[in-house]
């Protein structure tokens, strides 16, 4: 068995607090593929409403896990991407997936991954 974890330490509790909020894990996971705009996040989430998405994005930005980038227009475009702290979530997702595979082993047929959200290609001025 690995090193003992102090489940009462501030770092552990802070990480659990982020993951315990509905949709946070999904949003962080979606952004692992690169920057996405609000509409792309909403479409790819499969049921997350705009009000909740907006609140989650603001909270994750306040925690320093994502960055909001405004591209001047016209039209003005806003995209969201992971910060270095947010990118570290990839290690957590890998561990959760391994644990989840152990949890469901033999219970259900293999799950087909959700389709990737459509990404818009930026058009550069000629």
pLDDT in tens, 80-104: 999 999 999 999 999 999 999 999 8
87, two tokens: 């990118």
94 located within any domain: yes
29 located within any domain: yes
123 located within any domain: no
Assess contact for 28 and 82: CB atoms under 8 A: yes
The total number of structural domains in the chain stands at 1
CB atoms within 10 A of CB 8: 7
93 located within any domain: yes
59 located within any domain: yes
The pLDDT value given to residue 126: 41
Q: What is the pTM of this model?
A: 0.76
| Low-confidence stretches of the chain (pLDDT beneath 50) | 126
The pLDDT value given to residue 6: 79
The pLDDT value given to residue 72: 87
3 located within any domain: no
Long-range contact pairs involving 91-95 (C-beta distance under 8 Å, separation at least 24): 92/15, 92/19, 93/25, 93/28, 93/29, 93/32
73 located within any domain: yes
CATH code of residue 22: 1.10.10.10
The pLDDT value given to residue 86: 96
The boundaries of the domain holding residue 71 are: 10-104
4 located within any domain: no
């Amino acid at each position: 068995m690995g090193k003992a974890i102090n489940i009462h330490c501030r770092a552990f509790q802070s990480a659990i607090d982020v993951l315990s909020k509905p949709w946070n894990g999904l949003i962080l996971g979606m952004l692992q593929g690169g920057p996405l705009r609000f509409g792309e996040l909403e479409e790819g989430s499969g049921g997350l409403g705009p009000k909740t998405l907006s609140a989650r994005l603001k909270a994750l930005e306040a925690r320093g896990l994502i960055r909001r980038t405004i591209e001047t227009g016209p039209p003005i475009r806003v995209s969201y991407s992971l910060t270095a702290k947010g990118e570290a979530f990839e290690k957590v997702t890998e561990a959760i997936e391994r644990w989840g595979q152990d949890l469901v082993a033999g219970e259900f047929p293999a799950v087909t991954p959700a389709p990737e959200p459509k990404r818009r290609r930026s058009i550069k001025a000629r």
